[in-house]
Structures are given as structure tokens and as C-alpha cells.
Structure 1
Amino acid sequence: MAAKKEKTFKFVIVGGGIAGVTCVEQLTSQIPSADVALITAGHHIKAVTNYKQLTVIHSAVKSLHTETHSLETADGRVFGYEKLCICSGGRPKLLTQDNPYVLGIRDTDSAQEFQKLLSKAKRIVVVGNGGIALELVYEVEGCEVIWAVKDKAIGNTFFDAGAAQFLIPSLEADKPEVAAPCKRTRYTTEEPAPGASQTFTAEPGSALGPDWHEGIALRGAQQVSRRVSVEYQCEVEKIFTSEELLNSPQQTLRPESAGSWPVYVQLTNGKTFGCDLVVSATGVVPNAEPFLHGNTFAVAGDGGLRVDDHMMTSEPDVYAAGDVCTACWELSSLWQQMRLWTQARQMGWYAGRCMAAHVLSEPIELDFCFELFSHITKFFNYKVVLLGKFNGQGLGSDHELLVRCTKGREYVKVVLSGGRMVGAVLIGETDLEETFENLILNQMDLTPYGEELLNPDVDIEDYFD
């Protein structure tokens, strides 16, 4: 590399999303005197506190040179590092790259763009069945929503068909006026300070946190409150403009209102819908590309940078955390990586701990958060808690389920293997998460309790205090 290093930092973190910011916080609390740089392409940084010793560089990374411990930014500057952590997140799997009517929602910037486009929309087609799609179809008002999911039930990343059936009526009911608060760590996004040197490139911003839709009005142009129709077990076959549709030789494709919508979506179930906007919410792929060229990173099958139990990649002094990495240590039997916001935060925090420990030559154990998978979120205004192997992941047929469901109030599912609890799904205000978390962790034999385990007349907490 010809260009001279502008400055060498002790720690460089790439990515201003939750993993990157948590990593910075951890590093600066462990080694307050360390020189830390955060390189981010996004307009917003998920920030909690400002640190005096933190330099924020607003640019995308153009190339990484692990041999010389340096990286070049898109605006041509070169920075050195002693230790680097890549927290570049994931990029949305878009249905199509260059259609102005197709929007991928992944980060803070695209959510605001969506709000703008939605305000003029009468009908949208939402494609995808993950967390963002679930939140979106529930939050949008004043607009007709056609929701295309590739599975037999909604939300199958998070729960089974039973839980999906429990939630479906909420899509048809009016939204309650005030949502019950859900206890979680909150992060705010900060604009860069006025006058701060900035170079923006069209790079992805930071991923949306769990409360992303609060404070943005997701209202369409209609007076209706909400109309959602779900099209199951189908994917997008083709996307047309109205001109393409009118000139299409396949007359069967022409819906009644051909020409009256700007964009048309043909689904694999043979149906075609006209709409104002197509929202692509079909998940993400690790954003590792920019770092691979010229280096020899070990990459996992899903495209993530392989990391060990100290969040280290295969390149010396390079760590990774969040959606860009794939956990490749021997995983606990009760934990799985799911590229969720909560996991990005945990990984960023732990990567910061590991980087500091290595610099200070201190020993470090794998963090306890990787012992048991747990995720708290909110779908359709219900609190949702997922624990352990909540969908029987990897258990084959060797497990049994206990389910308790009170329509409109709660849905409780327990996964047992060999008489021991290995996972649970709790929807609603069940107050069971702490008890169940302990039962999963201590692997107590629950065979004597049988069905009583979920008997609503038995206060289960008294059993296991």
C-alpha cells in the first residue's frame, strides 16, 4: 500500500451499529487511556455516551490489509491498528437491486425512507417472515398490506404454527391505544455533531433495534386502520412495472386493474398484486465482502467471518462481532446464533472484553450469555420470550412439547428432552421466564411433574424456589 498511515490507533472498530458501539464502550471502560477509532459509513451511530478518547471516522472501508495492520477508507485515508474488530453487520437480501419501488428495510436510514414512501401508499406488498416483517405488518396503518410468506405459518423463525395461530387474530383486531412497556436496554441513535468532519457514502446504516418503529408514524394514505391479507407458502416470481405488465404477452398476468398501480408483484402461487411499494424483508447476509480481498479470512458456510470463543477471526489481531461473524466454537447445547439485535450487543460487549484482556494479558472465560439462548421482543403487542432450543432446534424427534394457550391472553410452550426442559416460548405476560430459565440451566428432571408443569392453577414458582 503506497499511502502513508495517517494515524495508528490501539483499537479500531468498523461499524457504528449496536455491536460496534458496545465494543467501543467495553474497550473504553476497560482501558480508559486507549486510543480508539470507530469507522462508520452510516449517518447514525447507535450511541449511549460520548468518549473523549474516541475518534469517529465517517466513511466506508475500501480495503483491509491485515499484513500491514492497516485499512483504507473510501475517501482515501489510511489508518493503522494494533487490534481491529469488524462489526459491519449484515446487508439485506434484496429481491431486486435497482427497482425504485422495491425497498429493503434493514437500518435506520431505510426505515425513514419507508415512512416517507408509505405516507403516499394505498397498498403495499411485504415479502418476508422474519422479525422486521412481523413488526411491520402489525405497525402499518392506513394502508392495505399483502403479506407474502414462504412458510405455512407466520414467524416460523421465532415460533411454531400454534403460536402463529395464537397471534393471527391480533392482525384483524384494532391496535390497542397504548402498548404495554417491554423492559429492555434502550439505545438511541445520534446524529454526528455539527461541524464534525463527515464523508458519507451510500453504505448501509446500523441495523434496527427492537423499538425501531417507535417515534416514526407508519401511516399510509387511506382512512382504513389496517387490512392485512397473508399469502402463505409463496415467494416472488417476478416484479413488473405497469408498462411491462400492459405489454406482457402472458394475458393471464393482467390483474383487473392493470396500469393503475406503479408496480406489480407476481407470486409463485399464481396471484399477481398491484401496489405502490414492495417491502423486501427477507433477512440479511453477513457484510464480510469488503474485508476479504487480499486477506485469508476463514469464512463460514453462511458467509460470515469465522470466530473462535474469543471472537477472534483467523487473521492475527482481527476480531469480529455481530451479524458479520459466525460463531465457530463448540456451542453450548442450549445456545444458537440467530443474528438478532440482542446477540449483536452481547457479541460486541464480549469482543471488547476479549480485546482488552489480550492487551492486558489477562485470562478471559467465554461469557455466560453464550450458555443459554434468550431473546425478549414484542410481536403484535404481546411480550415474546424465547429460551434455549425454543423450536426444538437440532433435537430431531427426540423431544416432547407441552403447550398451554389462553386465547387473546397467553401462549406457553415448553420443549422437554429426556424429561428435562431445553427450551420455551412465552407469549403474553406469563411471568414464567425466570423460573423456566433456571429450570433449563439446572437441567432438573421434570418427569414427576408431567402435565402439572403447565397447570394454570398450580403456582409453578412455588415448586422450584
Structure 2
Amino acid sequence: MEEKEVKTFQFVVVGGGIAGVTCVEQLSSQTPCADVALITAGPHIKAVTNYRQMSRTLEEFDVEEQPSSILQEKFPNLSVIHSAVRSLDTKSHRVQTADGRYFGYNKLCICSGGRPKLLSQDNPHVLGIRDTDSAQEFQKRLSNARRIVVVGNGGIALELVYEVEGCDVIWAVKDKSIGNTFFDAGAAQFLIPSLEADKPAAAAPCKRLRYTTEEPTPEAAQTFTADRHSRGGSSASTESGSALGPDWHQGIILKGSEQVTRRVSVEYQCEVENIFTSKDHLTSSQGTHRHENESWPVYIQLTNGKTFGCDFIVSATGVVPNSEPFINGNTFAVAEDGGLCVDDHMLTSEPDVYAAGDVCTACWEHSPLWQQMRLWTQARQMGWYAGRCMAAHASTQPIELDFCFELFSHVTRFFNYKVVLLGKFNGQGLERDHELLVRCTKGHEYVKVILSRGRMVGAVLIGETDLEETFENLILNQMDLTPYGEDLLNPNIDIEDYFD
């Protein structure tokens, strides 16, 4: 084989998303004399802006798409290479890009993110929403749509069903309640009225006694109708790039062709059985669907026996780690979920190769209060920590696991409510003897804490509760809360002063 010319860098990072860009920023600032390269397929990168540290582990930030030239202007030691990666040879320490060039590295960090798990890869009526291109395509199609079907129960699906107006929305979820990734059934019931136009007035707080098992509450009525007027907005023109950031729907109009009415129908505990065209539907008798006399571009049959016609289907069923281009020809340890296994220094099983963000799986022994979830906050934290580890290892300096991996914490917004998740917020991996305390004020707030042997190990806070820092401290300190009993959530007691 003819030997190609290889340009070698001390540090090479693959991926222009939050993990990759944060890693590059950390490396470039910590090692200003080192040659750093960022390999990214798109002309734009995802940058963290308006970063705010809310508490020891909670953080808020915006994600902004920027031209990569901004990074190069900021860091003179950084080179940005615009190309996808074709292959990686860990033995020779070099990466081949899609345009045929080779780049050597002393240390490499793979931050290639994830790719959508689409219901169908080649059906033109199935749309995944992952990057800015697909979000714009969704906006374009929605403007002419009378009805869409949203399949999935994660963050993208939750945002879509709340934001879309002027369109009939059928929401197919595989679980007994909405938002199963983030909430229990009680929190789901708290949020469901937000699908109605008229928000309920805040009521007096009601407090449930502690209980030891969480039984799903009866499902709310499966159909909600609302008359909404368009809130307007402006269309944002952006280039294709990495995954969308939080609040990706801000600034684009998500309105269908119907002028007033929006209708959301939730189909619980079902998955997709089949997808077929209008022609196939006319020649078959599969299932039942509403508006028998109408013809639709595509039909979707669910495992609950129902079939719906619609203008298009949104596949919002999560992502899988985008690790394939790097695995071929190498001997990476790969986790069950397809992610590259990394240790507590973000190192893979291949020498001098690190990984961060959605592409990796944290395979070290976790803190009892932390778990990996492929979220923007963890992409930023992992990229930042990976950059620190690479710089420390290059100078043979010791480095300890960052404190952000001590406690799981995430803040976001769903259905226009602030949502804070702390620790084992859904009782993940806990023994059955854990206890729950819940306080719910309809239309205002939902507070749930998880206690194990009298110590707080997790919390869900929906609404402007102002309890996140207090609860974070109680979880980290592992204080015995048994003496406080149900007063822990007594709305008449200022809990912040209680534990000041």
C-alpha cells in the first residue's frame, strides 16, 4: 500500500458537538503550545454559551451553533479539519478522513455522538429530528400537515407534543405514562393538563404520606383538545451539524396547516407494528383508523391494534452511539449499548484513545448517586473532563475523577415547567425498601424525594420550587432525615432555613 503523507498533532478530537468542542477548548487552553486538531464533518460547531453554575453539580447553559472559525480565532494552536472520519488505525495512531487525508495523533478523543434510531431508514414519510437540517425539514413538512404521529417517549417527543400547534398529533408511547425516561407516573399526571390550552389555576398544596412502592396512577383521559393561536416567531436558517441543543425549537415556527384547533391523542403501551402507504392501505384491511373517508400519505399500525393515517411520522425513539467508524479494524471494548467503554479517566481499551459524550459508555464503578444518561449536561462534563485527563496524562500529572460524577444532576424544561432531576430520581437500582415523599400543587409544582434508610438519594422537582440546592446538599451529605419525617415536604415550613 502506498504510504500517504501524514500530518501529526499532539491532540486530535473527532466531533463538532458539545463533547468535542468542550474537549478542544479545554485542551487548547490548558496546553497552548501543543498542536490541537478538531475533525468535524460540518462547517459549524456546537458551543456552550451563557453557562451558569447553579450549585455544586447543577449547571445551566445554552447551545449555540457557530462557524468553526470562531474557535480558531480564539485558540491559535487549534486546526479545524472539515471532513468525516473514514477509518481509525489505533496501531499506527492515525485517522483517515473521508477526503483521503491522514492525520496522526499522540492522543485522540472520539466525540462522534449518537445517531437516531429511526423506525425506517428509507421511508420518505418517516422523519427523525437530530440536527438542524432535520429540524428545518420538520418545520417545512409540518406547515402543510393536518395530522402527524410522534413515536417515542424521550426528551424530543416531550418537547414536540407540547410545542406543535395547528395540527392533529397522535403520540405513541411504549410505557404506561409519558416521559418515562425522566418521570414516574405521578409526575406524568401532573404534567398532562399542560397539553390543554387553559392552564389550571394553582390550587392549595396536597401532600401524600410516605409510601414504599410506586404504583402507576390511573391513566388520564387519552385525548386532549385545545384551541390555540399561533405564537408566531421567526425562522432560523442554519447549516447542518451535530445534534440539536436544549430548547432547539425556540425561534422556529412549529405550526401545522389547521388554523385553530390542536388535538393530542396519547396511545399508551404500544409500539409500531407496521408502516404502509396509502396504496397499500386501500388494498388491505389492517386495523381501524379515524376519518375512514380520508386518504393519507402514510399509515401506521400500532401493536394495540389501531391504525392511523397521517401526513408523516416523527421517529423520536432515541439514539445509538455512533461508534462504528472507529470499531472496524480495532479491538475496542464495546458496551452492551454499543458505546465505547471508557474508564474513570475517559480512556478506551485502545492506548492513547479517549472518548466522551454519547459515543461512550462509562464503564467504571459509578458513585451510588450517579448514572449515565445521554444528555447535553453529561456531554459537556465528559468533554471537559476528557480534555483535562488528556492534558494531565501528556504531562504525566495525576488526576482524580471529577466531582460532577459524584451526583447525577440535570436541569431542563418540559411543558414550560422547570424540571430538576437529582441522584436516583426514579429510584434507579435501589432496593424495594426505599421510601417516597411527594408534594403536589396542581398547575404549580411537583416535588418528589426518594429516601433510602432515612437518607435522601434522589429528587424530582417540577416548577419553580427553589429546593434544588438544599436537596443537592442533603443528598451529598447523606444526613439522616428520619427525625424530620413528613415535615421534610411540609409546605408551611421553609426547608431552606431548616437546613441552613
The two structures have a TM-score, normalised by structure 1, of 0.92
Residue 246 of structure 1: CA displacement?
Answer: 1.1
Matched, 1:220 2:220: no
Residue 260 of structure 1: CA displacement?
Answer: 1.4
Q: Which amino acid aligns with 2:117?
A: K
- Give the Cα–Cα distance (whole angstroms) in 2 for the partners of residues 162 and 433 of structure 1: 19
The two structures have a TM-score, normalised by structure 2, of 0.86
Q: Which amino acid aligns with 1:35?
A: D
Matched, 1:266 2:290: no
Which of 353, 356, 365 aligns to 1:330? It is: 365
Residue 79 of structure 1: CA displacement?
Answer: 0.9
Matched, 1:151 2:187: no
- Give the Cα–Cα distance (whole angstroms) in 1 for the partners of residues 141 and 87 of structure 2: 34
Cα contact 1:124–1:278 (8 A) shared by 2: yes
Partner of 2:283: 247
- Give the Cα–Cα distance (whole angstroms) in 1 for the partners of residues 153 and 342 of structure 2: 28
Q: Which amino acid aligns with 1:207?
A: A
Structure 1 unmatched ranges of 5 or more: 180-187, 192-203
Range that drifts further, 254-263 or 353-362: 254-263
Matched, 1:356 2:391: yes
- Give the Cα–Cα distance (whole angstroms) in 2 for the partners of residues 235 and 105 of structure 1: 19
- Give the Cα–Cα distance (whole angstroms) in 2 for the partners of residues 336 and 405 of structure 1: 26
Partner of 1:52: 76
Matched, 1:419 2:419: no
Q: Which amino acid aligns with 2:307?
A: T
User: In the superposition, relative to structure 1, how do residues 393 and 373 fare at CA in structure 2: closer, same or farther (>3 Å)?
Assistant: same
Residue 3 of structure 1: CA displacement?
Answer: 4.1
Alignment of 1:2-401 (within 5 A): 2-47=2-47, 49-50=70-71, 51-173=75-197, 205-248=241-284, 250=285, 252=287, 256-257=291-292, 260-401=295-436
State the Cα RMSD in Å.
2.0
User: In the superposition, relative to structure 1, how do residues 37 and 174 fare at CA in structure 2: closer, same or farther (>3 Å)?
Assistant: farther
- Give the Cα–Cα distance (whole angstroms) in 2 for the partners of residues 258 and 273 of structure 1: 12
User: In the superposition, relative to structure 1, how do residues 403 and 251 fare at CA in structure 2: closer, same or farther (>3 Å)?
Assistant: closer
- Give the Cα–Cα distance (whole angstroms) in 2 for the partners of residues 43 and 133 of structure 1: 28
Residue 456 of structure 1: CA displacement?
Answer: 0.3
- Give the secondary-structure state (helix, strand or coil) at the position aligned to 2:300: strand
Q: Which amino acid aligns with 1:61?
A: V
Cα contact 1:44–1:108 (8 A) shared by 2: no
User: In the superposition, relative to structure 1, how do residues 254 and 213 fare at CA in structure 2: closer, same or farther (>3 Å)?
Assistant: closer
Q: Which amino acid aligns with 2:337?
A: D
- Give the secondary-structure state (helix, strand or coil) at the position aligned to 2:27: helix
Cα contact 1:47–1:189 (8 A) shared by 2: no
- Give the Cα–Cα distance (whole angstroms) in 2 for the partners of residues 241 and 427 of structure 1: 41
Residue 215 of structure 1: CA displacement?
Answer: 1.2
- Give the secondary-structure state (helix, strand or coil) at the position aligned to 2:391: helix
1:340-387 C-alpha deviation (Å, 9 max, x unpaired):
111011000000010011112211110000000000000000000000
- Give the Cα–Cα distance (whole angstroms) in 1 for the partners of residues 384 and 230 of structure 2: 33
Partner of 1:184: none
Structure 2 unmatched ranges of 5 or more: 49-69, 200-227
Range that drifts further, 272-281 or 223-232: 223-232
Matched, 1:461 2:496: yes
- Give the secondary-structure state (helix, strand or coil) at the position aligned to 1:147: strand
Residue 59 of structure 1: CA displacement?
Answer: 1.4
Q: Which amino acid aligns with 1:362?
A: Q
1:176-216 C-alpha deviation (Å, 9 max, x unpaired):
9999xxxxxxxx9986xxxxxxxxxxxx8311211211111
Residue 225 of structure 1: CA displacement?
Answer: 5.0
- Give the secondary-structure state (helix, strand or coil) at the position aligned to 1:303: coil
1:421-457 C-alpha deviation (Å, 9 max, x unpaired):
0000000000000000000000000000000000000
Q: Which amino acid aligns with 2:429?
A: G
Range that drifts further, 256-265 or 222-231: 256-265
Q: Which amino acid aligns with 2:39?
A: I
Partner of 1:450: 485
User: In the superposition, relative to structure 1, how do residues 252 and 403 fare at CA in structure 2: closer, same or farther (>3 Å)?
Assistant: closer
Q: Which amino acid aligns with 1:10?
A: Q
1:6-27 C-alpha deviation (Å, 9 max, x unpaired):
4111111111111001001111
Residue 172 of structure 1: CA displacement?
Answer: 1.4
- Give the secondary-structure state (helix, strand or coil) at the position aligned to 1:88: coil
Cα contact 1:16–1:45 (8 A) shared by 2: yes
1:131-179 C-alpha deviation (Å, 9 max, x unpaired):
1100111111111110000000000110100000000000112589999
Residue 333 of structure 1: CA displacement?
Answer: 0.2
Q: Which amino acid aligns with 2:144?
A: K
User: In the superposition, relative to structure 1, how do residues 445 and 178 fare at CA in structure 2: closer, same or farther (>3 Å)?
Assistant: farther
- Give the secondary-structure state (helix, strand or coil) at the position aligned to 2:475: helix
- Give the Cα–Cα distance (whole angstroms) in 1 for the partners of residues 186 and 46 of structure 2: 36
User: In the superposition, relative to structure 1, how do residues 252 and 215 fare at CA in structure 2: closer, same or farther (>3 Å)?
Assistant: closer
Range that drifts further, 409-418 or 30-39: 30-39
Q: Which amino acid aligns with 1:169?
A: P
Residue 52 of structure 1: CA displacement?
Answer: 2.6
- Give the secondary-structure state (helix, strand or coil) at the position aligned to 2:404: helix
- Give the Cα–Cα distance (whole angstroms) in 2 for the partners of residues 247 and 95 of structure 1: 23
- Give the secondary-structure state (helix, strand or coil) at the position aligned to 1:312: coil
User: In the superposition, relative to structure 1, how do residues 254 and 151 fare at CA in structure 2: closer, same or farther (>3 Å)?
Assistant: closer
- Give the secondary-structure state (helix, strand or coil) at the position aligned to 1:226: strand
User: In the superposition, relative to structure 1, how do residues 22 and 390 fare at CA in structure 2: closer, same or farther (>3 Å)?
Assistant: same
Q: Which amino acid aligns with 2:265?
A: S
User: In the superposition, relative to structure 1, how do residues 244 and 365 fare at CA in structure 2: closer, same or farther (>3 Å)?
Assistant: same
Range that drifts further, 57-66 or 168-177: 168-177
- Give the Cα–Cα distance (whole angstroms) in 1 for the partners of residues 88 and 319 of structure 2: 22
Residue 107 of structure 1: CA displacement?
Answer: 2.0
- Give the secondary-structure state (helix, strand or coil) at the position aligned to 1:83: strand
User: In the superposition, relative to structure 1, how do residues 251 and 391 fare at CA in structure 2: closer, same or farther (>3 Å)?
Assistant: closer
Residue 42 of structure 1: CA displacement?
Answer: 3.1
- Give the Cα–Cα distance (whole angstroms) in 1 for the partners of residues 113 and 100 of structure 2: 22
Cα contact 1:5–1:70 (8 A) shared by 2: no
Residue 258 of structure 1: CA displacement?
Answer: 6.0
Cα contact 1:18–1:341 (8 A) shared by 2: yes
- Give the Cα–Cα distance (whole angstroms) in 1 for the partners of residues 198 and 80 of structure 2: 44
